[in-house]
Amino acid sequence: MEIDFQKSVGLVPAIIQDERTGDVLMLGFMNRESLTETQRVREVVFFSRSRNKLWKKGESSGHVLQVREIRVDCDADALLVRVEPVGPGVCHEGYRSCFFRALGADGDTKVIAERTFEPEKVYGQEKAR
């Protein structure tokens, strides 16, 4: 089964899910090269749309995502990567999951999770991920 990278300019969305808890941690994008690299090193490697290059999650923080299983959807245009996360969280704002805000009916958002680490100590002054 061929992954369909063509539907969205060479990229497929990759959902990252904690295998133990079921929590959805983040969503990134992969191109063919980053998927191959992810499979080779068994740690998640995205394609960064803003930096236009491969981006190994945790390369600066050490919070890598160890791959346990990769699933493909019916149309082969989305991936679900089930991982064991290393460290206290994946979000550059200091949370376990990037989905730490709930959206209200009025469009306002509300933080619904506790911070698990101080991002300044992990990433220094730059907003690196």
Given the rule CB under 8 A, which residues bind a second copy?
1, 3, 7-8, 13, 15, 17, 21-24, 26-27, 39, 49, 69-75, 78-80, 91-93, 95, 98-103, 105, 107-109, 112
**Closer Cβ to a second copy, 13 or 86, answer by number:** 13
Q: Which residues contact 80 (CB under 8 A, 6 or more apart)?
A: 14, 15, 17, 70, 71, 72, 73
CB of 73 to a second copy, least distance (A): 4
Q: Are 90 and 97 in contact (CB under 8 A)?
A: yes
To the nearest whole angstrom, how small is the minimum distance from the Cβ of residue 20 to a second copy? 10
How many residues in the chain? 129
In the bound state with a second copy, the residue whose beta carbon lies nearer, of 64 and 67, is: 67
Nearest to 20 by CA among 66, 56, 77: 66
